[in-house]
């Protein structure tokens, strides 16, 4: 599944940019506050406008301080999936329950240098695991292949029935890296410039999807 990231889109034409990727599984929205990460993007008012402009399920990735306070608003506004960072959430189990109660799926993200193992029990309360394959804060960065070991760990636990999460990856995904990520066991691929820098974003998105499907098939015993 593919989630185009509007971080690489034209912010002056977000409704048009959403229509340009009709057929996407999710539409990925990076919310940055200039504190948790050294960049400032957009917030809840823009997300609400985007929700009114598209039928694509909106995937909000909150790179913010104090998500325990702010994340619920995105769920209440109608976001399909709301992801918070394990490095920022103070009461992640309670937050996951509140997000679900507000009507959204609950996602948990880990930075590239954050180990996954200490949070495996915590993931039992979440619907989505977002593995960051770049340092959060800016688009256009190079893929960090070492994070794929976290993907493989999560995939094994999902396939064995010990976890029930969708495995998502974000950062540096393009025609080359999507194959590595698919072979490791990713379900949902966030891609920004690889889609929105193309002359035809929808065609670029479907090309990425086809590459992921082919690569996932090489895994043999992996079932999605």
The reply to whether 223 falls in a domain is no
CA distance 148 to 75: 29
CA distance 77 to 84: 16
Q: Which residue has the tokens 């698919």?
A: 182
Q: How confident is the model at residue 218 (pLDDT cuts 50, 70, 90)?
A: low
The reply to whether 224 falls in a domain is no
The reply to whether 40 falls in a domain is yes
C-alpha distance from residue 3 to each of 23, 50, 113, 122 (Å)? 10, 15, 23, 24
Task: Give residue-wise pLDDT tens across range 51-61.
Answer: 999 999 999 99
Residues annotated as catalytic are: 30, 170
What is the total count of domains within the chain? 1
The reply to whether 222 falls in a domain is no
Quick one: angle between helices 67-77 and 44-53, nearest 10? 20
Show the domain range for 121: 2-217
Per the confidence metrics, is the pTM higher than 0.85?
Answer: yes
The pLDDT score that the predictor gives to residue 42 is: 94
The reply to whether 211 falls in a domain is yes
Task: Give residue-wise pLDDT tens across range 168-205.
Answer: 999 999 999 999 999 999 999 999 999 999 999 999 99
The reply to whether 104 falls in a domain is yes
The reply to whether 22 falls in a domain is yes
Tell me which residue of 207, 222, 187 sits closest to 59, measured CA to CA. 187
Task: Give residue-wise pLDDT tens across range 29-52.
Answer: 999 999 999 899 999 999 999 999
CA distance 97 to 38: 29
Contacts of 174 (CB under 8 A, 6+ apart): 143, 191, 193, 194, 208
CATH number at residue 38: 3.20.20.70
The reply to whether 174 falls in a domain is yes
Task: Give residue-wise pLDDT tens across range 88-124.
Answer: 999 999 999 999 999 999 999 999 999 999 999 999 9
The pLDDT score that the predictor gives to residue 139 is: 66
Question: Per 3-state DSSP, what percentage of the chain is helix, strand, and coil (rounded to 5)?
Answer: 40, 20, 40
* Four-CA torsion 127, 4, 14, 57, nearest 10 degrees: -30
């Amino acid at each position: 599944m593919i989630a185009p990231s509007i971080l690489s889109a034209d912010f002056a034409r977000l409704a048009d940019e959403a229509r340009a990727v009709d057929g996407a599984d999710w539409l990925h929205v990076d919310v940055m506050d200039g504190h948790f990460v050294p960049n400032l993007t957009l917030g809840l008012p823009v997300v609400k406008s985007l929700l009114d402009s598209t039928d694509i399920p909106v995937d909000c990735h909150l790179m913010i301080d104090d998500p325990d306070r702010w994340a619920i608003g995105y769920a209440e506004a109608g976001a399909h999936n709301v992801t918070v960072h394990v490095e920022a959430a103070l009461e992640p189990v309670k937050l996951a329950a509140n997000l679900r109660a507000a009507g959204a799926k609950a996602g948990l993200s880990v930075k590239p240098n954050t180990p996954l193992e200490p949070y495996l029990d915590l993931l039992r309360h979440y619907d989505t695991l977002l593995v960051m394959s770049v340092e959060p804060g800016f688009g256009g960065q190079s893929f960090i292949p070492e994070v794929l070991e976290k993907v493989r760990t999560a995939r094994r636990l999902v396939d064995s029935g010990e976890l029930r999460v969708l495995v998502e990856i974000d950062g540096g995904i393009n025609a080359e890296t999507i194959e590595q990520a698919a072979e490791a066991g990713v379900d949902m691929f966030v891609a920004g410039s690889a889609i929105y820098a193309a002359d035809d974003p929808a065609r670029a998105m479907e090309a990425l999807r086809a590459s992921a499907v082919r690569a996932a098939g090489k895994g043999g015993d992996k079932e999605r």
